[in-house]
Amino acid sequence: MKKLIGLAILLLITIQFSVAQSAKVDFSQKPPNLDSLLPKIKAEKNDSARYYLAMSALTISETNPVEDMHNSEIILLHGQKNNDLVCQVLGYCCLCYDYIAFGNKVKSLEFGIKANQAAEESKNDRLKTFAKAMLALTYLTMGDFEKAVAYNKDAIEAGTKYDTDIIYVCAVNDMGTIYLAMGKIDSALIYTQKAYELAVKSGITYWLTSTYLQFGSIHAAMKNTSLALNYWNLALEEAKRIGSPKFASTAYNAIAQFYYNANQKDSAKLYATKAITSVTNTAFYTLNVDPAKLLLNIYRDTNIDSAFKYSEIYRAATDSLFNVRTLQQAQLMAVEEEARIAELKMEEEKEEDERKQNLEYTFIALGIISFFMIFILFSRRHITNTNVIKFLSVVSLLIVFEFINLLIHPFLEKITHHSPLLMLISLVGIAAIIIPFHHKLEHWAVNKLIENNKRARLEAAKRTIEQLEA
């Protein structure tokens, strides 16, 4: 069971972040500078376009997720500061994955839940697919297969209309991985086959290697040994074609284990050696653990020198794996502290922005009130042209109602998720309510002020007559 779960993580580790279509987001390329990208993300009102912009800033580091975590934190903080649910979901999802890579299941679950909550709030199916797929992966690594199945089914359901997106293909294949870990081989085969067909349909060639590896494991579990071997060889060919030492080593190791179990030790030695050679001088040295252990077992009773050699490789790979994890945990603590400081700074900036905004609103409100008071006093005590009163009344009421629109505009942006169409419909609806009220109020105010001004005229005339009579 643990081996199957380990294989699941191995198959998914390089593609789990890829939510967007492979044609639009290329994770093999160095991400753009975030300082120049964030203003573009903030200015973009369309959710899909903003989604792809944010995804272009996220990276996949298969050996050191700390590199990913930095950009993920920045995207998340940007989303929180600007009430951008797209960036929030992507940030939470990527951090969820990073913590899985660190082996911190508590933190991965925490961010997976936050991603799912933000995705539900966004009502965006693409984001829901990503968040639920990540939460399913978290539960898979925890061994909670029931929840992993439930969330992955939700991910597949939400992403049906995005069946060419790599995250949808990933979710479908994840279902096969989960069922394989549960021992439900037939279901695992069905979903892996579907994932393969979708990968071919969408042109996601990188994913083919993963599906071939999983097909091999499925058929090995079904005792279809020849088919298993064929699929592992296909995975090996595809790994060579795309230039992936990681997948090549995984395929070589699977074939070596196959021959070892079949008591064909010469073939097992050959492929185990190739598994080690394929990751020599690469960052995937820790993959040497299994093939080195196999070679150690083979040579233990026949060749003490070779046994010693591979015991050293096994020990070095095991130590390296431990050291990598130790280093990553130390780096993780540093990243978390940086994230805490950045979050505090963001909160301070947000509070300062809100304070400035509230001051501006206060000054505007005081200005409007002062204008009204001066205007009313002026019209009551001074003889003024009727057209001037009408004009100033219209202007003052327009200022009031535009101020109301200014106050409610941020709220409208939030509930409409910056959708131009929804914003237009909302503003038209508000105008349909306000305009009749505006006209009635305008009519009443103008008439009232004109009447007051007429009284002022009459009183002035009376005073003039009294002075003349005296």
pLDDT tens string 10-47: 444 333 333 333 334 444 444 557 778 888 988 888 88
Task: Tell me what the mean pLDDT of segment 142-160 comes to.
Answer: 91
pTM of the full structure: 0.61
In angstroms, the Cα distances linking 208 to 3, 24, 249, 371 are 21, 19, 16, 70
Between 267 and 306, where is the model more confident?
Answer: 267
Task: Tell me what the mean pLDDT of segment 354-359 comes to.
Answer: 76
pLDDT at 359 over 90: no
Place of tokens 């609806």: 429
Q: What confidence score (pLDDT) does residue 330 get?
A: 47
Q: In 13-162, which residue ranges form alpha helices assigned H by DSSP?
A: 34-43, 47-55, 66-81, 85-102, 105-122, 125-141, 145-158
Task: Tell me what the mean pLDDT of segment 309-325 comes to.
Answer: 54
Q: What confidence score (pLDDT) does residue 25 get?
A: 44
Q: Can you say how many angstroms the Cα of residue 80 is from the centroid of all Cα atoms in its chain?
A: 12
pLDDT tens string 43-82: 888 888 888 888 877 765 444 556 678 888 889 999 998 8
Task: Tell me what the mean pLDDT of segment 451-460 comes to.
Answer: 70
CATH code at 2-243: 1.25.40.10
Q: What confidence score (pLDDT) does residue 15 get?
A: 34
Between 339 and 10, where is the model more confident?
Answer: 339
Place of tokens 């753009």: 32
For 211, other C-beta atoms within 10 Å of its C-beta total: 28
pLDDT at 214 over 90: yes
Distance in angstroms (rounded) separating the CA atoms of residues 111 and 91:
9
Of 69-78, 93-102, 297-306, the poorest mean pLDDT is in: 297-306
Token digits for 393? 């009344």
Give residue limits of the domains in the chain. Answer: 2-243, 246-342, 343-469
pLDDT tens string 388-407: 656 666 666 667 667 777 77
Place of tokens 């040994």: 225
Token digits for 108? 């991965």
Q: How confident is the model at residue 430 (pLDDT cuts 50, 70, 90)?
A: confident
Place of tokens 């003039």: 464
